Structures are given as C-alpha cells and as structure tokens.
C-alpha cells in the first residue's frame, strides 16, 4: 500500500528523571503508528537516541543511494532477502556462500533500523529501502511505498532533533558524532560514485580517472538520479569492470535528440497512472500504460503494432548493436546529454536469431520494454538492463514487462482468439494457437504464452499448467 507522510516521533518516557539519551520512539505513516506496534499510537520503544543517530550517520549513504540487493536475487521485500539467499547457498561452495552471508548481514544491518539498538533483542524489524523515487517501508508484515523525498526528510528530521538534543547537553561526549551527522552528505568522489552505481570504490575510482563517469558532488546530487550515464553504469554494476565500460560506451553513443511527441505522451501517461492507478500492482500499471498508448495512437485492439514505426514517430533514437554480454537485451537512455534512445543488443539471447530487427520478435519485445522505461521511469532507473544481476527494482521491471506484453499483444485479443478457436485446452491445440499468436503479433513464445494464459483467465479458465508444459521456464 502507498503512504505519503513518514514520521518518527520521540517522547520522554520519564520526564521527572531528566534523562538525556533515553526516549520512546515510534514511526508513523499518514498519522498512524506502524512501528513498534501497528496501530498503537501511544506505544513507543524505549531507546538510546545516540544509538539511532550513530546508525543513521553510519548507514546514511546506503539508505539514501542503494537501490539493489547485494546478491543477484529479487525478493519482493527486504525481509525476504535472507530466505532467497539461503536457497542459493545450498548449491554453491561453502566459501562463496559465507561471503554472500557476510554481504546479507551488512545489508540487514543498514536497512533494518531496529538493528540500531544494541543489546535489545527480538525487536520488530523496521526496513527501509529505496527504489527510484520510492522508499519501501516494511513493518509488522506490511509494506508501504513512501515518496523518497518524504522519507529522506523524515530521517533527516529525526536525526537533526537528536543532534540538537545532544548538543544542548554536550559535555564533549557527542561532539564527534554530531559533527559526523552534519557531514553525512559528504564523501570522497570514489565512495559517492561507488554507492551510486553499486561497485567497489576502487572500480569507481578508475572509472572517474579514465573520464568515463563523473562523480556526484554529494549524496543529494547522487540521489537525484539525473545522470543518464551513471544510471547505465548502475544497472551494469554487477558485471566485470570491462563490461561496465562497454555499457557506459553504449549509453554515450546515443545522441541528444528532440522528442516533443514523446514528452507529451510521457506526461499524460504518468499523470494518468498517478491519478487512477497509484495503488495498483506494478503489472496492472504496466498494462494500463500500454492501453493508454494504444488509445493515444489509435492503435485499436486486434491490430498488429509496429513498435519501430511508433518509436520513430515519437522521436526515439533506436539502434541495433552487437555487444557482450549476451544477458544484455537492451538499454534505454534519456537525460540531459543523451537520448531519448534505445539500443538493442543483436547478440542477446532474446534477439540473436537473425533477421531484420523490425521483424524480430525478441527485438520488438525488447524495444517495447525500453519504451516503457522512457515513458514512465524517466529520471530514475532508466537503463533497462533487467537481467544484469537484479539491478533493477522489482516493481520497475514488472511494470515494463507487463507493458511490453500488453502493448504488442493485448490480453483481450489473446482471449478473444482463444474463444474463436473453440476454447482449446489440449497441448497440440494450444501449441498451434501459440504459433498463430506469435506469427500474427510478432512476439516471443514467452509473451504469447503469458498473454494467452491471462486472456483465458478472463473467462475463468486456467491454462497455466498446460502452457508450462508447452513453454517451460517462460
């Protein structure tokens, strides 16, 4: 669920004692307590406030800048990272599993604010993790999506309140901590860039030294996500350094072009999603955005959509390139110096089966995927490298995937064609119908299978099991 206003509230549990560092803390969203006890506005957790300020100071950069999990997994929420990681560890050497365990421990220490209070065990977790312009807040088994700027302001406010309280009673004990808090947005260029793109500081330092990337001036500048080349590097941050450099070069190859038609469409789509689909799941937002695009372009249902022609008319610069790694399908770029552009990797596993890109099902799906990022995600996470180590927030990728499928093959069309074919349920009949859909709409078998399943579900029929047999690992 979504929320607008995150706040941290301190109260004095024993005012008669005049304690300096002891206070009760609670977190609320839109005026309702969410931690330590959901819905209990009068209940707080007794803490030492200098512990919380130490935690916020130490982990400010990962809280503000990290947008990817430390492992190539995509749990639905931060609390599930360890469970996802544990499943991986059963199939890898013990030494590597131990290294990953260390990375998960460091992640948990930073992003669960309940870890701030040393010596208190069994506390309810309070998770915070950024995803673009949203901060995910998880507490009491529930999820809230808070505007990033609001979450940042709330964390800054509670830190400032604590710093002032300690400063008023300062006997030299907290001066170093207060000073570090006030400098929390500062850092070395290599450290700031490393947090921005998710690489070791030494890698970031070499990218700066070779003039491949500009380091942000401070945490605020890094958090703005307004450098399209840095965004591309972040999406490739899980790759070896040589391949990060290749992705940066690809992003830099996109020229700056004017695209007023795309600008206008993007404004309208984002406004409609914010107004009518704000509380909907990511895949529903993606399908809704695709339907809006079809409406704007008068691309009625049951019509093949030429995505390459649409991109051209909207002013998107599109090019095919042949580059490694094969896990890179495409790259969307749009910022102050480059784009809007979409690069499609002709060596990718999805595209690399020969033929002109305009008629290549994989290339069409990839371009539609990138198109969604250009429409909806401009300013955050624009580089659509969804398979490079899980570097794209889950909701962003789920929305783009749903958009691409719905734009190229509307679920209503798939359902209507299934009905007109006699509502087949057998393997041979469904295989033939999938062939018909892929030929007619020029989409991959994976997309056709997915849309056929959803289309039939609108008629209360579940084809999932049989379609899994036909197209495994879809």
Whether the pLDDT of residue 89 is over 50: the answer is yes
Residue 161's pLDDT is 95
Give pLDDT, residue 231.
84
pLDDT at 390 over 70: no
**What is residue 383's predicted lDDT score, i.e. its pLDDT?**
40
Cβ contact 25:10 at 8 Å: yes
pLDDT of residue 77 exceeding 50: yes
- Residue 70: what pLDDT? 87
- SS3 call for 47: strand
Percentage of the chain beyond pLDDT 90 is 65
Of 79, 91, 183, 86, nearest in space to 128 by CA: 79
Q: Is the pLDDT score of 469 beyond 70?
A: yes
pLDDT exceeds cutoff 90 at 72: no
Q: Which of the four pLDDT bands, split at 50, 70 and 90, describes residue 132?
A: confident
Check pLDDT > 50 for residue 85.
yes
Q: What's residue 380's pLDDT? A: 47
- pLDDT score of 381: 40
> Which stretch, 119-133, 235-249, 335-349, 383-397, has highest mean pLDDT?
335-349
CA 357 – CA 320 distance, rounded (Å): 8
Over residues 366-379, mean pLDDT:
88
- For residue 402, how many other CB atoms are within 10 A of its CB? 25
Q: How confident is the model at residue 4 (pLDDT cuts 50, 70, 90)?
A: confident
Q: Is the pLDDT of residue 21 over 60?
A: yes
> What is the tens place of the pLDDT at every residue in 103-119?
999 999 999 999 998 76
Q: Is the pLDDT of residue 173 over 60?
A: yes
- Indicate the pLDDT class of residue 13, thresholds 50, 70 and 90: low
The Cα–Cα gap between 154 and 124 comes to: 20
465 burial type by CB count under 10 A (0-12 exposed, 13-18 middle, 19+ buried):
exposed
3-state DSSP assignment of residue 106: helix
Mean pLDDT of the chain: 89
The values of phi and psi at residue 27, to 5°, are: -115, 140
Distance between CA atoms of residues 88 and 390, nearest Å: 14
The tens digit of pLDDT for each residue in 225-279 reads: 778 898 888 878 777 899 899 889 999 999 999 999 999 999 999 999 989 998 7
- pLDDT score recorded for residue 121: 67
Q: What are phi and psi of 128, to 5 degrees?
A: -135, 130
pLDDT > 60? residue 301: yes
Does pLDDT of 79 surpass 50? yes
Mean pLDDT of 202-217: 94
Contact between 391 and 236 (Cβ < 8 Å):
yes
The answer on pLDDT for 9 being more than 80 is yes
Q: What is the pLDDT of residues 31-45, one digit of tens each?
A: 999 999 999 988 899
Q: Angle CA(167)–CA(168)–CA(174) in degrees, nearest 5?
A: 30
> Mean of the pLDDT values across residues 185-212?
93
Is the pLDDT at 362 greater than 90? The verdict is yes
Q: What is the mean predicted confidence (pLDDT) over 93-100?
A: 94
Instruction: Give the HSE-up count for residue 11: Cα atoms under 13 Å, Cβ half-sphere.
Output: 9
Please give the pLDDT value at position 238: 74
- The pLDDT of 282-308, averaged and rounded, is 86
Domain residues of the chain, as ranges? 6-182, 189-250, 260-408, 411-470
Q: How far apart are CA 138 and CA 117, in angstroms?
A: 18
């Amino acid at each position: 669920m979504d929320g607008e206003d995150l706040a941290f509230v301190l109260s004095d549990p024993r005012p008669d004692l005049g304690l300096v560092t002891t206070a009760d803390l609670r977190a609320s969203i839109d005026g309702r307590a969410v931690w330590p006890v959901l819905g209990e506005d009068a209940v707080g957790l007794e803490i030492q406030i200098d512990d919380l300020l130490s935690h916020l100071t130490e982990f400010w950069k990962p809280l503000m800048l990290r947008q990817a999990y430390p492992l190539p997994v995509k749990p639905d929420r931060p609390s599930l990272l360890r469970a996802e990681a544990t499943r991986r560890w059963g199939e890898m050497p013990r030494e590597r599993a131990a290294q990953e365990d260390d990375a998960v421990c460091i992640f948990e220490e930073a992003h669960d604010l309940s870890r701030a209070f040393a010596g208190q065990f069994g506390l309810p977790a309070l998770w915070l993790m950024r995803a673009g312009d949203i901060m995910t807040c998880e507490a009491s088994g529930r999820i809230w999506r808070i505007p990033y700027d609001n979450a940042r302001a709330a964390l800054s406010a509670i830190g400032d309140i604590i710093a002032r309280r300690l400063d008023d009673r300062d006997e030299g004990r907290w001066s170093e901590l207060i000073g570090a808090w006030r400098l929390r947005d500062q850092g070395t260029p290599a450290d700031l860039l490393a947090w921005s793109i998710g690489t070791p500081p030494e890698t970031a330092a070499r990218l700066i030294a070779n003039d491949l990337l500009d380091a942000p001036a401070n945490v605020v500048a890094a958090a703005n996500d307004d450098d399209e080349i840095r965004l591309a590097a972040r999406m490739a941050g899980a790759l070896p350094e040589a391949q990060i450099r290749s992705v940066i070069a690809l992003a830099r190859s996109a020229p700056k072009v004017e695209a007023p038609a795309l600008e206008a469409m993007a404004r309208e789509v984002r406004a409609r999603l914010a107004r009518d689909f704000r509380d909907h799941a990511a895949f529903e937002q993606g399908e809704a955005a695709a339907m809006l695009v079809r409406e704007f372009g008068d691309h009625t249902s049951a019509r093949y959509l030429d995505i390459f022609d649409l991109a051209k008319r909207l002013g998107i610069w599109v090019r095919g390139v042949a580059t490694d790694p094969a896990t890179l399908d495409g790259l969307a770029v749009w910022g102050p110096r480059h784009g809007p552009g979409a690069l499609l990797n002709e060596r990718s596993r999805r595209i690399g089966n020969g033929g002109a890109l305009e008629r290549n099902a994989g290339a069409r799906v990839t371009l539609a995927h990138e198109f969604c990022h250009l429409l909806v995600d401009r300013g955050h996470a624009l580089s659509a490298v969804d398979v490079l180590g899980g570097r794209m927030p889950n909701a962003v990728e789920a929305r783009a995937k749903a958009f691409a499928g719905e734009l190229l093959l509307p679920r209503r069309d798939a359902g209507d064609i299934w009905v007109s074919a006699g509502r087949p349920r057998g393997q041979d009949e469904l295989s033939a119908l999938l062939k018909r859909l892929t030929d007619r709409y020029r989409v991959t078998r994976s997309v056709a299978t997915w849309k056929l399943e959803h289309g039939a579900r609108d008629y209360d029929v579940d084809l999932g099991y049989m379609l899994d047999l036909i197209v495994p690992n879809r």
